[in-house]
Amino acid sequence: MEIVNFSEQSIFHEKAQKLFLEQKVIIEALLPKADVQHVGSTAIPNSLTKGDLDIQVRVKQEEFLSAVHVLSQLYSINDGSISTDSFRAFNDELTDPPLGVQLTIINTEFDFFWIFRDVLLKNDNYRVKYDELKKDFDGKEMDDYRKGKNTFFEWLLETPEFKALRANT
């Protein structure tokens, strides 16, 4: 049973930003056409976070299989995540902070991590609502938190802000 705990984003911001910039340079050197984005709660000021760094790597369809190969050389495959023709997840638990990398094909079903970030940055009420959810699950089972988080993000998908950003891609 994995327990989830949250802390203020400010505690991890400097380390997360430094690691993001380091990883972005590496990824862009190997995948020069990729759009590399800092996503997740460490990218959102004043939010609560588990303290990990999330990166989204966005590529065109014709670059996806090559990107899977390249990222597989840099990181471990995240076996706990889904794997599709347009999405792969990787991780590195040895970095500080721990790292998750989501590879997506641009404008496909799973190309939403950057949109979630931008919606939470634009609407502080949504960020507060998300933080309240995190407070409710702090010290509880990770699987239960993931279910609550999924419900929250399903709701966020229906917000005007999300729909507007998705329409502009």
Condensed to tens digits (0 to 9), the pLDDT of residues 148-162 reads 999 999 999 999 999
Per the rule left: phi > 0, alpha: psi between -120 and 50, beta: everything else, 163 is alpha
Helix (H, G, I), strand (E, B) or coil at 45: coil
Which of 111, 109, 32 minimizes the C-alpha distance to 66?
32
Q: pLDDT-based confidence at 140, cuts 50/70/90? A: very high
pLDDT tier, 1 (very low <50, low <70, confident <90, very high otherwise): confident
Per-residue pLDDT at 168 exceeds 90: no
Q: Tell me how many helices (H) and strands (E) the chain has.
A: 6, 9
Q: 10 lies in which domain range?
A: 3-167
Q: For residue 126, what is the enclosing H or E element? A: helix 124-137
Query: Hey, how many other C-beta atoms are within 10 angstroms of the C-beta on 17?
Result: 14
CA distances from residue 46 to 42, 50, 72, 124, 156 in whole angstroms, order as listed? 9, 13, 33, 9, 19
Residue 67 and residue 60: Cα distance in Å, rounded? 10
DSSP string for 55-101: EEEEE-GGGHHHHHHHHHHHSEE-TTS---SSEEEEEETTSSS-EEE
Total number of domains in the chain: 1
- d(C-alpha 104, C-alpha 110), whole Å: 6
Q: Which amino acid is at 106?
A: I
Q: Which long-range contacts (CB under 8 A, 24 or more apart) does 84-87 make?
A: 84/109, 84/110, 86/61, 86/110, 86/111
Quick: pLDDT tens for 54-74. 999 999 999 999 999 999 999
- CATH number of the domain enclosing 24: 3.30.460.10
Question: Residue 3 has what pLDDT?
Answer: 96
Q: For residue range 71-116, what is the model confidence (pLDDT) as tens digits?
A: 999 999 999 899 999 999 999 999 999 999 999 999 999 999 999 9
User: What is the mean predicted confidence (pLDDT) over 10-20?
Assistant: 96
- Name residue 81's amino acid: S
